[in-house]
């Protein structure tokens, strides 16, 4: 929601373009070190991990009359860079870290096995509100192109006058290719986008943008080839599997099938997201939203 709104604002107000996604902490750190000239292009949105922690320690804490200092927020991620991200500056909406502990999916599996939990036999339970039900747009974030597609679902809906029949699937940005381009006609406006995964590909694309060889308005970058489904914290597959199966493509396929099966597939249609905006944030891009859900960047010492 915030990223789509930020993109629309930049396009309408002639702000810095292309806008570049900021959900991959490995990529953000790389940008700060090696492409600091693109820091104004980075979306100011925190990553999903940090946004969730920030909402838990602000809105959810207030709603349940809990001191944020008494909340321990733990994330489970396919990414090792998320461990670094929780210690970044400007990631403490409630005056305490948005997220206290980040473990990888591989670590969680080890914990489950060590404890002898039969995960499939556990009873169904509802998650604590306000983030109990995710949308299909949230599910596909893990695949390269998923962040772009999720943002486009809401941006196109907004740019076309909040048309109820705005498109859901943007197949051109899907797939495990390292660099992908697409162009969409949105309400008479041409929107050119690029999706890149793997930092070697990011370096190639940004160099082309810097040299004026590529003209796009929106770029998604993920540090890991194939996206988060191929993150450094994921369960390691044996050679007999990874040598013959494109695990990135299979995991992405699973996410897209989950998205297709969801009743709610666009971020702005999520009842929980609507509740958070109605009762706390106000609207995308509001002052409160910026205080809670946005962050800042600065060049690292490596860039000097």
For residues 2-19, average pLDDT: 95
Residues 248 and 240: their CA atoms lie apart, in Å, by 15
For residues 18-23, average pLDDT: 97
Q: What is the pTM of this model?
A: 0.94
Higher pLDDT: 164 or 83? It is: 83
Q: Is 126 helix (H, G, I), strand (E, B) or coil?
A: coil
304: pLDDT strictly greater than 80: no
* pLDDT value of position 302: 72
pLDDT band of residue 248 (cuts 50, 70, 90) is very high
222: pLDDT strictly greater than 80: yes
Residues 294 and 292: their CA atoms lie apart, in Å, by 6
Let me know: does 242 contact 234? Beta carbons within 8 Å: no
Q: What is the pLDDT of residues 121-139, one digit of tens each?
A: 988 887 777 777 889 999 9
* pLDDT value of position 303: 62
* pLDDT value of position 126: 78
Cβ contacts of residue 122 below 8 Å, gap of 6+? none
Among the four given CATH numbers 3.40.50.1820, 3.40.950.10, 3.40.50.300, 3.30.70.120, the one describing domain 2-236+247-298: 3.40.950.10
Residues 228 and 248: their CA atoms lie apart, in Å, by 9
């Amino acid at each position: 929601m915030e990223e789509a709104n930020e993109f629309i604002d930049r396009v309408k107000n002639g702000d810095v373009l292309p806008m570049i996604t900021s959900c991959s902490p490995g990529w953000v750190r790389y940008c700060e070190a090696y492409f600091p000239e693109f820091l104004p292009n980075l979306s100011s949105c925190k990553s999903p991990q940090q946004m969730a922690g920030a909402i838990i320690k602000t809105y959810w804490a207030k709603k349940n009359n809990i001191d944020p200092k008494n909340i321990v927020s733990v994330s489970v991620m396919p990414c090792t860079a998320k461990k670094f991200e929780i210690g970044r500056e400007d990631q403490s909406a409630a005056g305490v870290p948005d997220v206290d502990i980040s473990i990888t999916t591989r670590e969680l599996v080890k914990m489950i096995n060590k404890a002898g939990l039969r995960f499939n036999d556990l009873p169904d339970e509802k998650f604590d509100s306000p983030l109990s039900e995710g949308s299909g747009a949230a599910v596909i974030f893990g695949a390269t192109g998923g962040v772009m597609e999720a943002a486009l679902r809401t941006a196109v809906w907004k740019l076309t006058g909040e048309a109820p029949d705005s498109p859901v699937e943007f197949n051109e940005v899907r797939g495990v290719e390292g660099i992908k381009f697409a162009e969409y006609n949105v309400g008479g406006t041409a929107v050119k986008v690029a999706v890149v995964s793997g930092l070697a590909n990011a370096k190639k694309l940004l160099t082309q943008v810097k040299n004026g060889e590529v003209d796009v308005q929106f770029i998604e970058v993920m540090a890991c080839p194939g996206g988060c489904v191929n993150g450094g914290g994921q369960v390691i597959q044996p050679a007999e599997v990874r040598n013959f199966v494109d695990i990135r493509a299979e995991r992405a396929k699973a996410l897209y099938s989950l998205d297709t099966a969801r009743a709610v597939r666009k971020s702005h249609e999520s009842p929980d997201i609507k509740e958070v905006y109605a009762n706390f944030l106000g609207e995308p891009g509001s002052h409160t939203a910026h205080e809670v859900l946005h962050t800042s960047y600065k060049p690292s010492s490596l860039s000097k």
